[in-house]
Each structure stands twice: as C-alpha cells, then as structure tokens.
A and B are shown apart, each in its own frame.
Chain A
Amino acid sequence: MTLRRALFLAGVATLCAWVLVPIYLIALGAIGGPETVNAWPKPFWPIAWSVSALSQFMNIAGVWMSVLYSVEAAALCMVIAIALGTPAGYALARYRFHGATAFRLFVLMTRAFPVAILALPLAVTFIHLGLYDSPIGVGLMHSVLAMPFAVLISASLFQAVPRELEEAAWIFGCSGPSAFFRVVLPVALPGITATAIFAFVISWNEVFAASVLTVRHKTLTAYLLTVLSESPLHTQFAGGFILIVPAVLFILLVRRQLFSMWGIASR
C-alpha cells in the first residue's frame, strides 16, 4: 500500500515537473535579468528582479503588429471551428446516420496528416487564392487543426444534455431549431465557450504552419521564431514567457469544462 502510494506520488511529481519546470525556467529567465540567465547553477529565486527584458521585448519593432495578427488568426480559427464544428457535433450526438463512426474517425484523421507534407501545396494554393501571407490564411489553416476538437468535444457536450429537455421544449411549443437555440444551446454553452477558447489557444500556439504561410504578416509565434534567434538569451526567455502566459491563463479558465467534457470527474 505504502509502496503503491509512493509510486503514485512519484508519478504525480514527475508529471508536474515535466510541465512546470520548463515554465519555471522560462519565467526565471524572463524576469531575472541577464545575470540569472547566465548563472550556473541556477538560483531558485532570480538574482535581480527586473522587467526590463519583458519591456525590451515589447519594444522590438513589429511585436505588437504580430500580436494583432495572432489574435486575428486565432479569432478566425475560433469562429470557424465553432460555427462548423458544433452543428457537426450536434448531428453526431443526436442522430444515427450511416457512416457516423467513420465520420468520427475521419475527423480525427485530419490531425494524423502531417502539416509538413501539406505545407508546400497549401502555400501554393494560398498564393493562387490570394490568401498567402495573411492572418486570414493562417486562421483558415488553424481552423482545420482545431476542427476535430470542436466536433468531438461538442458532440460529447450535446450528448450530456438530456434528450428529455429537448423533448420538453418540443412539447411546450418549440420547433426543432427553436428548441436547439432556446434549450440545448444555452445548456451546453459553458462547454462550447470552453471549446472556443481551446480553439483559440490551438491557433495562438501553432508555429509551423504560421511560419510557412507568412512572410511579412507573421503571427507572434512565427515572428518570434525569426526575431529571437538574433536576440540575447534573456530576451528570448521574455518572448517565450509572453507566449505562454495567455495560453496558460485560458486553459486555467476553462479547465473545469475540459475535465467534465472528457468524462473525468472534476467535482
């Protein structure tokens, strides 16, 4: 019993360290100044507190524009993923149709296809369509990456809405669509919001497709990749830190919904 418990705790500690240590090191480098970054062994607390690296990073030319592009791409990704993903999820949850299982699998297959192989033909197509080097093109690409999550998560959300609620709505005067908008959607809304934020974060974090599909209008991740290789270490840490923070905050906000929608008891 004690051995099992010790193993369990060790596992938990390893997993936490796996996630937290890199974040901690990046934070340390970002706010500790050049001394902390170059010190060895690493101090637990920063040698000197300083936000100069962060502000210095913010002042790099083009950072704010790339933040804007990132937000544009992520917002577009979020809107498309929800607008197309939730109806598909509803269909999966409520209707039995031929090929439902195959559809579930194919939606996931889009993630199994490596972006690296897609990159060149996609870039060529985007050039033809005039979408190359624009946040709209990047957002479109990202919405494909977010789509399987939007479909499968919203399917399980709608499955969790009792069918009787919908039937009660029909009985008390609703047509099919009005029952959906008055009852099913509001009940599933917290989960759908979480899915939307999740789609946003997927786009925000994505770097490969964003780098390939843009030249001058780069999203933040892609821009940092090009700029930071020429910057001092502590500025690189500051850039990494600023990238992580919104993603972590968003996931923290929706963590409860993400847990419950994946069937893990969170209460």
Chain B
Amino acid sequence: MAAIVIEQVGMRFGGTVALDNVSLTVADGELVALLGPSGCGKTTLLRIIAGLQTETSGRVLIGGRDMKGMPPRRRGLAMVFQNYAVFPHMRVRDNVAFGLRMTGAAPDRIERQVARASALLHIEPLLDRYPAQLSGGQRQRVAVARALAVEPAVLLMDEPLSNLDALLRLEMRADLKTILQEAGTTTLYVTHDQTEAMGLADRIAVMSAGHVEQIAPPAEIYRHPASRFVAGFLGTPPMNFLPLPVTDGHVALGNLRLRAPGGAARVILGMRPEDLASTTELEGFPFIVQVTEPLGSHALLTGRAEDALLRVVMPPDLRAAPGSVLHLRPDLQRVSWFDATSGAALEQPS
C-alpha cells in the first residue's frame, strides 16, 4: 500500500509536448482513473510511473520514495497491459507466480498467493493451461491475477478492458470493481471509456493535450465540469452546448430570459440531454425535431435550436415527427455555463 505523488511531470518527444507539467496525487488505497481521448498523454504518464519511460522533468514518488532512475522492478508495482502481455510459453500457474518467483519468495508463500489471486479471478480451472488455449477474457483475468499475486504497493492498469467485446467488458467491469475493492490496492487506471471511469473510479482525472483538466469524484465531474472539454467528454449522449451573447447580464433563449454569469460577453450554456423537459411555448425555447429514436427505456430526439445541434432525452412513448416543433425548458439547477472563448466553467448565477 502506498500513495502515488506526481509532481510537475513533463515529457517531450523532440518538439512535441506529450505531458505539460502534470501534478496528480493518488491516495493510499484509492482508485483514480486517467480518462481522455487517445493521444492526450494518459498512457505516457502511466508508463513514466512504471519506469518504462523516463520523464523529461518533474518527479514521481511512490510511497514517499523518489523513483528517479529506479528500474521498473524496484518500484514495487504491478501492471496490467492492454494486450494482456501474458507470457505465451508459460502455463497460467507460472504466469501468475512469475512476479513472486522473481522476488525469491518461499515456495509455500508463492503457492498460497497464487491460489488466492486465482480464486479472486475465478481462474483455478485454467491453471494448467497455456495462454493460447484461453479466450481473450480469460487471458485478461490471468493478467490481473499475475498483477495481484505479487501484492503490489501500486497497481497500474492500461486500458485493460478495451480489447474485450462489449458484453464481456460489461461483465469484467463489474467483476474488476469487486476485485479491486477487495484487494484495496492503490490503483491508477487508464481508459478512454468514460463509462469505465465513472463506474470504477473513486476519482477521475480528465486529461487533454498533455495536461489534467479536472480531478474529481465521478458524480462531481459529471455535475460540475471544470471546462467545456470535460463537459463534452463525459456523458452519453454528450452535453448540449448553446453559444449565446450576453446582454444586460442576461441571455435570451426563445421566450426564456436567463441570468448569465458575469465576466464574459459571450457564454456557452451547457445542458445535459436528460435535463431538458417539454413545456409550453411561453416557458421554453423552440426545438425543431429532426430525428426521433425510440430506445425502449427512453426516446432520443435530435434536432436544432438557436442554430445548434441538440440532443434531448424524452419519455419512451413520445413520438415527434421530423420537422415538428417542441418547446423545451432546461432544469436551471443543473445547467453549466462556460466562457465562450476560454471554455472554462463560469460560476452559476444565483
């Protein structure tokens, strides 16, 4: 058990900046998800912590120890790779025992911990097989068991579920949550899948273009995004954005006149698709329906308002013909405001 402290870590490849002074702390026993689009630097950061790449500036501390110049094997960590990286020439049992054998652990301790890790991952029946005889999901379980068997101070996971098919991913995600909670290991989990991050993490660090945009618990990051980027990255369907001019401290939205946050001439109003409700003409703004998708649990409407594309979640029985006009009203407690130029979140006007 140990905390990870990342201080002002920078990484350059030639002229390009992969990481721009990233600082981040993962508390002892906490699970933090690094979430971001591909190329945002999340995997680079993970590999720097693992010691597989060397940072150009800043430092990494694990359990209070400076990791500078420390080879991966001395860092007291374990890692789960995206493509599993299970050793193909070893039986599952030897794969799981690999890390312990390398530390020179006593045979009875190895046996005990291999049994424990494989029970946790439900792979006992597979212990005498070779990886080539396993499915993708089973291989991933072996990779996680191998990582947990060494009882690492820190567990790093690099998109561990992204090579699995959708149904298996859903199943594995729930299993992984139970397993990681039980193990209680400090975990840094890299993913580009927001549902994975929301479902698993204690806190999410959203990354974009080499820096951390926001670090917060899932509910807060969803409800109070720190920037337009974060707001747009989390949630399916994504948040709707309406750019609006501010006049006299207010914005006009159809027949609605809303108090705008101060300090910006143009603002962006962010509304989640589920936070819009149908209302009368006087109390809402017009929305021209283009497509209605009945999805069973709800209906997803796509259309236009204020010259912008809008998606709205409506009750499942709602049928709106293309071209028809609905009047919508946002839940004002739940809207977000952003500066139109910088994209930074603005204080909610009271």
Residue ranges of A at the interface with B (Cβ–Cβ < 8 Å): 162, 164-165, 167-175, 178, 183, 186-187, 189
A225–B77 alpha-carbon span in the complex (Å): 64
Task: Specify the chain B residue showing the minimal Cβ separation from A188.
Answer: B89
A177–B87 alpha-carbon span in the complex (Å): 16
A-B contacts, CB under 8 A, total? 57
**Contact A171/B89 with A162-B83, A164-B83 known, Cβ cut-off 8 Å:** no
Our pick among A162, A164, A170 for the contact of B72 (Cβ within 8 Å) is: A170
Interface residues of B in 75-127 (CB under 8 A from A): 77-79, 81-83, 85, 87-89, 98-99, 102-103
A189–B98 alpha-carbon span in the complex (Å): 19
A167 touches B73 (CB 8 A): no
B73 touches A171 (CB 8 A): yes
B71 touches A175 (CB 8 A): yes
A162–B71 alpha-carbon span in the complex (Å): 20
**Contact A173/B87 with A164-B81, A168-B79, A168-B81 known, Cβ cut-off 8 Å:** no
Task: Specify the chain A residue showing the minimal Cβ separation from B81.
Answer: A164
List the B side residues contacting A165 at CB < 8 Å: 85, 87-88
Chain A CB count within 10 A is highest, among B51, B81, B89, B103, for B89
A53–B146 alpha-carbon span in the complex (Å): 62
List the A side residues contacting B98 at CB < 8 Å: 169, 172-173
List the B side residues contacting A174 at CB < 8 Å: 73, 102
**Contact A172/B146 with A165-B87, A187-B88 known, Cβ cut-off 8 Å:** yes
Is B300 located at the chain interface by the 8 A CB criterion? no
Min CB gap B324→A, angstroms: 53
Min CB gap A181→B, angstroms: 12
Sampled A-B contacts (24; CB under 8 Å): A162-B83, A164-B81, A164-B83, A165-B87, A165-B88, A167-B52, A167-B79, A168-B79, A168-B81, A169-B98, A170-B73, A171-B50, A171-B52, A171-B73, A171-B78, A172-B98, A172-B99, A172-B102, A172-B146, A173-B99, A174-B73, A178-B102, A183-B87, A183-B89
List the B side residues contacting A189 at CB < 8 Å: 89
Is B1 located at the chain interface by the 8 A CB criterion? no
List the B side residues contacting A186 at CB < 8 Å: 89
List the B side residues contacting A168 at CB < 8 Å: 79, 81, 85, 87
Is B150 located at the chain interface by the 8 A CB criterion? yes
Min CB gap A187→B, angstroms: 6
Min CB gap A132→B, angstroms: 44
A178–B104 alpha-carbon span in the complex (Å): 14
A187–B90 alpha-carbon span in the complex (Å): 10
Given A178-B102, A183-B87, 16 other A-B contacts at CB below 8 A? A164-B82, A164-B83, A164-B85, A165-B85, A169-B87, A170-B51, A170-B52, A170-B71, A171-B73, A171-B77, A172-B150, A173-B98, A174-B102, A186-B89, A187-B87, A189-B89
List the A side residues contacting B72 at CB < 8 Å: 167, 170-171
A187 touches B85 (CB 8 A): no
A164–B82 alpha-carbon span in the complex (Å): 9
0/1 string, B173-203, CB within 8 A of A gives 1? 0000000000000000000000000000000
Min CB gap B265→A, angstroms: 50
Task: Specify the chain B residue showing the minimal Cβ separation from A168.
Answer: B85
Task: Specify the chain B residue showing the minimal Cβ separation from A166.
Answer: B85
A167–B83 alpha-carbon span in the complex (Å): 12
A174–B73 alpha-carbon span in the complex (Å): 6
A186–B130 alpha-carbon span in the complex (Å): 14
Interface residues of B in 10-59 (CB under 8 A from A): 50-52
List the B side residues contacting A175 at CB < 8 Å: 71, 73
**Contact A173/B52 with A164-B83, A165-B87, A186-B89 known, Cβ cut-off 8 Å:** no
Our pick among A167, A172, A187 for the contact of B78 (Cβ within 8 Å) is: A172
Min CB gap A175→B, angstroms: 7
B73 touches A173 (CB 8 A): yes
List the B side residues contacting A187 at CB < 8 Å: 87-89
Chain A CB count within 10 A is highest, among B81, B83, B85, B103, for B85
List the A side residues contacting B150 at CB < 8 Å: 172
A96–B87 alpha-carbon span in the complex (Å): 25
Task: Specify the chain A residue showing the minimal Cβ separation from B89.
Answer: A186
A178–B83 alpha-carbon span in the complex (Å): 22
List the A side residues contacting B89 at CB < 8 Å: 183, 186-187, 189
A162–B82 alpha-carbon span in the complex (Å): 12
Task: Specify the chain A residue showing the minimal Cβ separation from B104.
Answer: A173
A4–B83 alpha-carbon span in the complex (Å): 41
Chain B CB count within 10 A is highest, among A168, A172, A175, A178, for A172
A168–B157 alpha-carbon span in the complex (Å): 12
A183–B87 alpha-carbon span in the complex (Å): 7
List the A side residues contacting B103 at CB < 8 Å: 173
Min CB gap A184→B, angstroms: 10
